[in-house]
Structure 1
Amino acid sequence: MLVANLVEAPKLTRREREVAILVAQGMTNREVAARLFISERTAESHVEQIRGKLGFHSRSQIAAWVAAQDLAIDGPVPPADVIPRASPSPTPRRPTRRTGLIGTAVVLSVALLVAALAYNRLTTISPMAPSVATVAGTGARAFSGDGGLAVDSPLVHPLAVAVGQHGEIYIAEGNRVREVQQDGRITTLAGTGDAGNGGDGGPAKQAQLNTPQGLAIDSAGTVYIADTLSNRVRRVNPDGTISTVAGTGEAGYAGDGKPATAAKLYLPTGLAIGFGDALFIADTGNNVIRQLGTDGTIRTVVGTGEAGYRGDGGPAPYAVLHAPGGLAFDNEGNLYIADTLNQRVRRVDVNGQIATVAGTGVAAFGGDGAPAIFAELNLATNPLEGMGQALAVGPTGDVFIADGSNHRLRRLDVKGAMSTIAQMKTPLGVAVDPHGAVYVADADDNRVLRID
């Protein structure tokens, strides 16, 4: 169906062509409406009409079609420097039944290649190599105690990293959460190093954790921990004690609308703090994102619980995810999700609509310099071995992706282009401070790196 539409351009109206181009730029229905001075409902209707005429199911398919058709808006919108333009070519004949399969591959490959090359000409790639420094870890896999300099202290397979209000660096590693203080010394915030789930109500340092893979810090500086193999989310309170805020410890999917401590989770990994200090949890084994409100109740906000890939362009609660991991919010309140087994990054906008913003669904490496929806990712996908917290958003809106199985830190910039920032052993966790410095948990190298 996709190639048939590439070969024979359907009769879209002028307004539908304008909407299609803006969708190809990654705009939400709300953003399209604002750009074209129409209502959001009208924009949504145009998108549905485009899908119907083209026979498409996702916004990324519309983007690929726009690139192949050499579409441009008449008049001043949108700005020309952000529209990937493909070179015109003669319209090929309709493929026969015998040649259709070959024609499909050729047309689609050419369309993606032309779009990528065109976009690359319009995107400035900085030739400057980033500055990379170790902030914790020696490369050895071990624990050497607290109080020493973090750069002289070995770590055990760090999976997540977070930045505190005053520049502290928190690291989930070796069944512990460690804190690198402003003077560069490292201490233990929570965990003894023994795998387990005990210790609630007592000092966090004496509690047991079991492969923690996500960290989040609210506006008060409270640290939340995704205690993954314990099927809980835990909190280190201001007095240094630890408590469970979500999950009973039993693997399952239950409890929406009830106190989160009575709910069942299944291998929670990524965490993120939204507006109003609401905590969002990637309930990885249940294929959903859940929200812990400030009143202590839990509800599902993204995903049906079914494993798969579906729902782009529609309401997030009706979308289908597959092992969602890392979570991150931007400054506008859009939620980014590492949809790991789908090998995509998806975004839930402030209106609750979901879309794919990076990844093709193929576990591979490719697409640097091209629109991110044509780029290939190879995200870590096994929470039992460690998926980590693979997403972070910088102060200017760039999304940083720990592309673990590709051994790279990648960036989805605000124009929608994908690039590689640095190569490393196995990056699984990423965080960004308010000044734009990026911190990466390089798990198999047993270090945390800072990239400027």
Structure 2
Amino acid sequence: MLAIIICTIILILIGAAIGIALGVSLNRSTGSFRWNPTGIVENSNTQLNGPEFVYPDGNQNIYVPDYYNYRIQRFPSGSLIGTTIAGTGTPGNATNQFNGIKNIWLDSSYQYLYEVESLNNRVMRFSTNSINGTAGTVVAGGNNPGNNTDQLNNPQGIYYDTSSNSMYIANYGGHTIIKWIPGASNGSVAAGTSGESGNTSSLLNSPLDVRVDQYQNIYVADSRNFRIQRFCVKNGNQGTTIAGGNGAGNSSIHLAQPRSLHFDSQMNLYVSDTTNHRIIKFVKV
């Protein structure tokens, strides 16, 4: 009898220990389990949380801004295991932290990485050989959101033009494209009018991405005008609609909040048409 009682006590203690280890509790009357309602977000080197962009370099390494893990990951070619080259895993505005990583770009030598932070209203530069927690350098903005020449306002997209050593920044909240030499105190408006949105040929409405061709023509994903605008050097601040611009829609001539744009070697245009859940190609003629 004593042996039976001891065995029963041991089984109860083991069961309690298992319940604690698994973080669950057993409802004795129904036999159902309950879980802690607060979930755990995984952030190991094989996982991502909210990535919004990807950049492959010439060696087929892949760089990813891992939005909700507040870091930038590099994945070697063919590997699913990433290395953190910037960020600490916690949000903040120190030079080794991120808050709102939206986009990244590498220079032509793949030596430096430029990243745009919408919530810190700045662009930071990091060496691609950096490691977790390394401090970067603020190369544009970082002076609170605003429309002055030393400020950015919810920046979203970036393009680094090697020929002019300049960054072109899609300044979403300021409705402009800003041209900024890395490290300079001020930038300059390259397209749009600072702080003014509109749908005329000279205005933008919440631009999300930007590209520049070899002739220094600027291409803009003009999201809330549902169009792609081109600003030619010879035309000054007057843009030309090269895709969309017919209001929001889902036909082949419409766009609905274009998010990003890319050109192939033949200058065919590819647009991520966000609200239409598609990638649409416009062939150069």
Residues 396/281 of structure 1: CA separation in 2 closer, same or farther (3 Å cut): same
1:328 maps onto 2:211 in alignment: yes
2:148 pairs with 1:280: no
Q: Deviations over 1:312-370 (max 9, x none)?
A: xxxxxxx1110011112334443210001111111122434521111134222112xxx
**1:78-99 alpha-carbon deviations (Å, 9 max, x no partner):** xxxxxxxxxxxxxxxxxxxxxx
Deviation (angstroms), 1:145:
1.8
1:229 aligns with 2:116: no
Whether the 8 Å CA contact 2:228–2:245 is kept in 1: the answer is no
Question: Does the residue aligned with 1:270 lie in a helix, a strand or coil?
Answer: strand
Range moving further from structure 2, 397-406 or 177-186: 177-186
2-side partners of 1:265 and 1:295: how far apart? 14
Partner residue of 2:181?
Answer: 293
* Aligned residue number for residue 192 of structure 2: 303
What's the C-alpha RMSD, in Å, of the aligned pairs?
2.1
The residue that corresponds to 2:232 in the other structure is: 349
TM-score by length of structure 2 reads 0.75
Structure 1 pair 361/243, CA: closer, same or farther in 2 (3 Å)?
Answer: farther
For the residues of structure 1 that align with 2:170 and 2:151, how far apart are their CA atoms?
13
Query: Helix, strand or coil for the counterpart of 2:119?
Result: helix
Q: Does structure 1 retain, via aligned residues, the 8 Å contact 2:99–2:120?
A: yes
2:259 aligned with 1:376: no
Distance 1:271 1:300 in 2: 14
Give yes or no for contact 2:100–2:119 (8 Å, CA) kept in 1: yes
C-alpha change, 1:144 and 1:252, in structure 2 (3 Å) is: closer
The answer to whether structure 1 residue 397 and structure 2 residue 284 are counterparts is no
Matched residue pairs, number?
A: 233
Residue 247 of structure 1 is aligned with which of 141, 146, 150? 141
Task: From the superposition, tell whether residues 357 and 243 of structure 1 become closer, same or farther in structure 2 (CA, over 3 Å).
Answer: same
Task: From the CA coordinates, give the structure whose radius of gyration is larger.
Answer: 2
**Aligned partner of 2:47 among 150, 154, 158:** 154
Higher helix share: 1
Higher RCO (C-alpha under 8 Å, 6+ residues apart): 1
Paired letter, 1:414: K
Q: Say if 1:144 and 1:293 are closer, same or farther in 2 by CA, change over 3 A.
A: closer
SS for the counterpart of 1:193 is coil
Q: Which of 408, 422, 428 is matched with 2:278 structurally?
A: 408
1:280 partner letter: Y
1:147-296 to structure 2, matched below 5 A, reads 153-173=46-66, 174=68, 175-184=70-79, 185-198=81-94, 200=95, 207-221=96-110, 222-237=112-127, 240=130, 241-255=135-149, 263-274=150-161, 275-293=163-181, 296=184
TM-score when scaled to structure 1?
A: 0.48
- The percentage of counterpart residues that share the same residue type is 27
Q: Secondary structure at the match of 2:224?
A: helix
> Is the strand fraction higher in 1 or 2?
2
Residues 17-67 of structure 1 show CA distances to partners (whole Å, capped at 9, x for unaligned) of: xxxxxxxxxxxxxxxxxxxxxxxxxxxxxxxxxxxxxxxxxxxxxxxxxxx
CA contact 1:330–1:394 (8 Å) conserved in 2: no
2-structure distance, mates of 1:344, 1:145: 38
Distance 1:295 1:252 in 2: 18
Report deviation, 1:142. 4.9
Q: 1:359 aligns with which of 212, 228, 244?
A: 244
Q: Aligned AA for 1:181?
A: P
SS in structure 2 of the partner of residue 328 of structure 1: strand
CA contact (8 A) 1:237 1:243 kept: no
Maintained 8 Å contact 2:177/2:190: yes
Work out the CA distance in 2 between the residues paired with 1:326 and 1:394: 16
| Structure 2: gaps spanning 5 or more residues | 1-39
2:123–2:142 contact (8 Å) kept in structure 1? no
Q: Distance in 1 between matches of 2:102 and 2:164?
A: 23
